C-alpha cells in the first residue's frame, strides 16, 4: 500500500490492532448469541470490510444482509434525514439482529436505522461498530459493541472513504490536510 499510504498523515489504528480487536469482538458476540437466531445487518458501503472480518470471527450459525442508506447533509456531517437506498432482502422478524457499522459520529444515521428496524419486530436489536467518536454525539443511541473510541478527526481506510477513495486501505488513518481542499 505504498502509493496510497503517501496520502496519509497519521495511522490511528494498524492492521494488526484491527485484527486483534475483531477477534475479541467475535468471541464476545459468539458467547452472547449462543442459541439465538443471529442476523448481521451491515450498512453499506463503509461496513463491508468490518462485516467480512467480524462474521468470520463469530463461531455460530448466522445470516447476514446489507442495507444502503444515504444521509442528507455535507460530506463530513450528516443531517439525520436518512433515505434507504437499498433495503434488506431477508426478513428480520423474530431474529436477533446485530447492526454492523463502520463508525458512529453524530449517531443520527444509526438512530434512524434503529427506529426503522425496530418497527419490523426483530426479537432483539443491538449495535456493533468498529469506530466510535463519542465527542461528536448528537443523538442518544446506545452502542453495544465498540472496537475503538477515536478522537474527533476525519478518518479513512478499512471501508471508510473520502470522496469514495481510500476504502481499501487495510488500516485506519488520517488524510493529509492538503487533500481535503
Ligand atoms: P452519523 O450519522 O453517525 O453522524 O454518521 C455516520 C456516517 O458518517 C458513517 O457511517 C460514515 O459514513 C460517515 N462518517 C462519520 N465520520 C467519519 C469519518 O471520520 N470518516 C469517514 N470516512 N466517514 C465518516
Ligand atoms: Mg456507516
Ligand atoms: Mg462516506
pTM value is: 0.95
Q: Report the atom number in ligand 1 closest to the C-alpha of 77.
A: 4
Q: Report the atom number in ligand 1 closest to the C-alpha of 109.
A: 2
pLDDT confidence band for 81 (50 / 70 / 90) = confident
pLDDT of 26-48, one tens digit each? 999 999 999 999 999 999 999 99
Cβ of 7 below 6 Å from ligand 1 = no
Domain ranges of the chain: 2-179
pLDDT of 84-112, one tens digit each? 999 999 999 999 999 999 999 999 999 99
Identify the pLDDT of residue 153.
Answer: 93
The Cβ-side half-sphere exposure at 176, using a 13 Å CA radius, reads 7
Identify the pLDDT of residue 70.
Answer: 86
The Å distance, Cα 168 to ligand 3 centre, comes to 13
Q: How many CB atoms lie within 10 A of CB 58?
A: 20
The Å distance, Cα 105 to ligand 2 centre, comes to 9
- Whether the per-residue pLDDT at 49 is higher than 90: the answer is yes
Radius of gyration for the chain, computed over Cα atoms and rounded to the nearest angstrom: 16
Q: Report the atom number in ligand 1 closest to the C-alpha of 154.
A: 19
Residues sharing a CB contact under 8 Å with residue 144, sequence separation 6 or more, in sequence order: 98, 126, 127, 128
Topology of domain 2-179, per CATH? Rossmann fold (3.40.50)
The Å distance, Cα 134 to ligand 2 centre, comes to 15
User: What does the block give as the cell for 6?
Assistant: 503517501
Cβ of 105 below 6 Å from ligand 1 = yes
Annotated active-site residue 105? The verdict is yes
pLDDT confidence band for 177 (50 / 70 / 90) = confident
pLDDT confidence band for 134 (50 / 70 / 90) = very high
Helices (H) and strands (E) in the chain, counts: 4, 9
pLDDT confidence band for 74 (50 / 70 / 90) = low
Top mutation candidate among 80, 81, 103, 107 for ligand 1, by most atoms within 8 Å of CB: 103
pLDDT of 144-153, one tens digit each? 999 999 999 9
Amino acid at each position: 500500500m505504498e502509493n496510497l499510504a503517501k496520502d496519509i498523515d497519521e495511522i490511528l489504528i494498524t492492521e494488526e490492532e484491527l485484527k486483534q480487536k475483531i477477534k475479541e469482538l467475535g468471541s464476545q458476540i459468539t458467547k452472547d448469541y449462543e442459541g439465538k437466531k443471529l442476523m448481521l445487518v451491515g450498512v453499506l458501503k463503509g461496513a463491508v470490510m468490518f462485516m467480512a472480518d467480524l462474521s468470520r470471527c463469530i463461531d455460530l450459525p448466522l445470516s447476514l444482509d446489507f442495507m444502503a442508506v444515504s444521509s442528507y447533509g455535507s460530506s463530513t456531517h450528516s443531517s439525520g434525514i436518512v433515505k434507504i437506498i437499498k433495503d434488506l432482502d431477508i426478513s428480520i422478524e423474530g431474529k436477533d439482529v446485530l447492526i454492523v457499522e463502520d463508525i458512529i459520529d453524530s449517531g443520527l444515521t444509526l438512530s434512524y436505522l434503529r427506529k426503522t428496524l425496530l418497527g419490523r419486530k426483530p426479537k432483539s436489536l443491538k449495535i456493533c461498530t468498529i469506530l466510535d467518536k463519542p465527542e461528536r454525539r448528537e443523538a442518544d443511541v446506545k452502542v453495544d459493541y465498540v472496537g475503538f473510541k477515536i478522537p474527533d478527526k476525519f478518518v479513512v481506510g478499512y471501508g471508510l472513504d473520502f470522496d469514495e477513495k481510500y476504502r481499501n486501505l487495510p488500516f485506519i488513518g488520517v488524510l493529509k490536510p492538503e487533500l481535503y481542499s
